[in-house]
Amino acid sequence: MNKKNICIIYGGKSGEHEISIRSASSVVKTLDENKYNKILIGIDKTGRWYLQPEAEESLRKTGILTLTTDEARKIVIIPSEGFFADHKKLDIDFVMPVLHGTNGEDGTIQGLLELMDIPYSGAGVLGSSVGMDKEITKKIWASEGLETVPFKSLNLEVFSDDAFPLNDFLNGLEKEYGYPLFVKPVRAGSSVGISRAENPEELKAALPKAFQFDSRIMIEPAIDAREIECSVIGNLTAAAYQTGEIAPTHEFYDYEAKYIDENGARLIIPANLDTETSEKIREIAVKAYVSAGIEGMARVDFFIDRRNGKILLNEVNTIPGFTSISMFPKLCEAGGLEYSDMLDKLIELGEERIKLNRKLDFNI
């Protein structure tokens, strides 16, 4: 069998650069050497792309990929031809973007790969950009009759206008939702820019913090909730794997709890739910995924309101954390799909999609 040349792209300009390196390290370690040659491209924090050394010493020694920025190995792209480094064309059959957040999970790199006619893993342009945008996602879900936490959004341009009646806006939020409130950037991840506000002072301080990461923010009532996540894989016919629960030891599942504090959260797999609830969640997860136009994979995140048991969709992640101890691969495994088989499947799904696209004929 001919080995496929899989290109793993990692790092990136987003705030989740380090997380991406960790996710990619797990992917590179797990991809079956008998089936695949691995080509590594690292994107540094300023957005420059570099071909990485083949034999990744550091991966073998420390388990974590490094990211070298050798100018001679800078990536040059010719859209109709492919990737080049050091004047040589890279022989790439398939790309796995293992990038979180901005420029990785938001449809931009997916668009580049579409232009280049290279198959890739995960959601396409539309599903990626929808999934990145918490406001648009919730609007789509609402139109499908899927329940979410209510919200109000605010645009930086409106907020910055001297005529904007800030106090009326804040009073309106207080009246409609009460405290505590959550303030978050519309297009971010890893809890960056998110605050929980208990009073008007905290609410006021939370707005610019969220605006640091996006020109659109949203404010929603805090739900006293259990946090449940579900892995979904597939193109048009998607399947939900197991459900898991995140039990943060912090006030909420903030950046520290996610990545810095080793004891920041417990992952409970499968989630301790009765069969009916977990079936319901898996069913909603698939509907949420398909209606948002997602293909390939996603982790769909839920709240269960402790006061009334209501299941509320929170958000979707089209390139979820991928380390071997991350929720997404763990939930697949718990649902009977081993990590390495899951990677094979993501490659198959990307190839399936491009085959369909290549059948299209744009001549009229």
Ligand X SMILES: Nc1ncnc2c1ncn2[C@@H]1O[C@H](COP(=O)(O)OP(=O)(O)O)[C@@H](O)[C@H]1O
Q: Which is nearer to ligand X, 56 or 301 (CB)?
A: 301
Which residue number places its CB atom closest to ligand X?
A: 253
Cβ distance to ligand X smaller for residue 248 or 293: 248
**Is-contact 93 121, C-beta < 8 A?**
no
Q: Which is nearer to ligand X, 67 or 210 (CB)?
A: 210
- Using the minimum distance from each CB to ligand X, give the nearer residue, 14 or 52: 14
CB of 56 or CB of 254, closer to ligand X: 254
43 neighbors 11 (Cβ within 8 angstroms): yes
Q: Which is nearer to ligand X, 225 or 238 (CB)?
A: 225
Minimal distance, residue 211 CB to ligand X, in Å: 15
Give the CB-side neighbour count of residue 352, counting CA atoms within 13 A. Answer: 14
**Residue 344 contacts residue 35 (beta carbons within 8 Å):** yes
Evaluate whether 337 touches 331 at the Cβ level (below 8 Å).
no
For ligand X, the binding residues (CB under 6 A) are: 149, 182, 184, 188-191, 194, 220, 222-223, 225, 227, 248, 252-253, 301, 314-315
Q: 353: number of CA atoms within 13 Å, CB side?
A: 27
Rounded to the nearest whole angstrom, what is the least distance from the CB of residue 92 to ligand X in the complex?
A: 30
The smaller minimum CB distance to ligand X, of residues 169 and 252, is found at 252
Minimum distance from residue 178 beta carbon to ligand X (Å): 12
Q: What sections of 118-272 are H helices per DSSP?
A: 125-132, 134-143, 156-160, 166-177, 200-211, 255
Question: Which residues, in sequence order, are CB contacts of 352 under 8 Å at separation 6+?
Answer: 235
Could you tell me the sign of the dihedral formed by the alpha carbons of 36, 31, 91, 362, in that order? Answer: positive
CB 224, min distance to ligand X, A: 7
Our measurement of the distance from residue 336's CA atom to the centroid of its chain's CA atoms, rounded to an integer in Å, reads 22
The least distance separating ligand X from the CB of residue 361, rounded to whole angstroms, comes to: 39
Least Cβ distance, residue 51 to ligand X (angstroms): 31
Q: Which is nearer to ligand X, 42 or 107 (CB)?
A: 107
What is the C-alpha to C-alpha distance for residues 83 and 95, in angstroms, rounded to an integer? 11
Handedness of CA 26, 98, 243, 347 (dihedral sign): negative
Residues 204 and 170 sit within 8 Å (Cβ to Cβ): yes
Q: Which tokens sit at 350?
A: 């990307």
3-state secondary structure string across 339-360:
HHHHHHHHHHHHHHHHHHHHHC
Rounded least distance, CB 114 to ligand X, Å: 25
Q: How far is the CB of 150 from ligand X (least distance, A)?
A: 9
Cα–Cα distance measured from residue 278 to residue 304, given in angstroms and rounded to the nearest whole number: 11
